[in-house]
Amino acid sequence: MAFISLKDNLDLSTPSGRLMFQIIGAMAEFERALIQERVRAGLRNARAKGKQLGRPRVIVDVYKIAALRTQGRSWAQIKNDVGVSKERCHFSFSRHKWRRVGELPSW
């Protein structure tokens, strides 16, 4: 069974069809390499100009999250009090060192 594209007039059962398919694939690979090269050059240029790349850093008060959690507050309530997403609250709280040990800090 061979692939035949009627729209592009490409038949992979023939040598000329396989050649065209290889050429199209090589051109796509070349274009992808050019895009990567331009992106890297743009990032280097931005860094050279002092541009800060990536998301801005978010400072999360893990102790406030822990205190609210010990009061029985839900993650949805905590996110409103802290001002970050529920996922960020949960992630920050769960990766903190006391959580691994299994004890909360004493206030």
pLDDT in tens, 76-86: 999 899 999 99
Residue 57 included in any domain: no
Residue 106 included in any domain: no
- 67 in the same domain as 36: no
How far, in Å, CA of 107 to CA of 101, rounded?
Answer: 17
Q: Are 29 and 71 in contact (CB under 8 A)?
A: no
| pTM of the predicted model as reported, rounded to 2 decimal places | 0.52
Residue type at 35 in one-letter notation: I
Residue 22 included in any domain: yes
- 8 in the same domain as 43: yes
For residue 25, give its domain range. Answer: 4-48
Q: For residue range 64-106, list pLDDT tens digits in order.
A: 888 888 888 888 999 899 999 999 888 888 887 665 445 555 5
